[in-house]
Amino acid sequence: MTRQKALILEIMRQQRPQHLTADEIFCHARQQMPHIARGTVYRNLKLMERDGEVAHLEMAGGPDRYDCNPIPHGHLLCDGCGELTDLPVVGLIREVEAAIGTEVRGYTLTIHYLCPHCRAKNAQ
């Protein structure tokens, strides 16, 4: 593993909120490795996606994001601030499988809501 790739993985696992865009990952990487090129970050993300180490999330109306958890899971998207958080949906997928009588081969699930922070702000 190259130093660049190790740094990218570390950023993706440690930054909160998670699910950064490629550009955000590049900005964090540059703080720790000032000479890293944008193209290096993008290329590494593509390779990691190909190897199944990270997942690539296509976002409607915004730049794509990267997920350090490549195991399928759903997401909660806050319509207020755009924060994306993981949502375990194993039970839901089981119910769908029971309903359709066959296995679910893959899914993309994004639930829109207002996060607790935005709800508190709206209530003021």
- Residue ranges for the known binding site for Zn(2+) are 78, 81, 115, 118
11 binds Zn ion (CB under 5 A): no
Kindly determine how many residues on this chain lie close enough to bind Zn ion according to the rule CB under 5 A. 7
17 binds Zn ion (CB under 5 A): no
In the list 37, 81, 90, 109, the residue contacting Zn ion (rule: CB under 5 A) is 81
- Give the three-state DSSP class for 61: coil
In the list 80, 107, 108, 120, the residue contacting Zn ion (rule: CB under 5 A) is 80
68 binds Zn ion (CB under 5 A): no
Sheet holding 74-78, edge to edge: 84-87, 74-78, 110-113
Taking the complex as a whole, the smallest distance from the CB of residue 22 to Zn ion amounts, in Å, to 15
In the list 20, 29, 67, 77, the residue contacting Zn ion (rule: CB under 5 A) is 67
Taking the complex as a whole, the smallest distance from the CB of residue 118 to Zn ion amounts, in Å, to 3
Backbone angles phi, psi at 107, to 5 degrees: -160, 155
Q: Which amino acid is at 49?
A: E
What ranges make up the beta strands (E) of the chain?
55-57, 65-67, 74-78, 84-87, 110-113
Cβ neighbours of residue 7 under 8 Å, at least 6 residues apart? 29, 32, 33, 36
Chain residues binding Zn ion by CB under 5 A are 67, 78, 80-81, 86, 115, 118
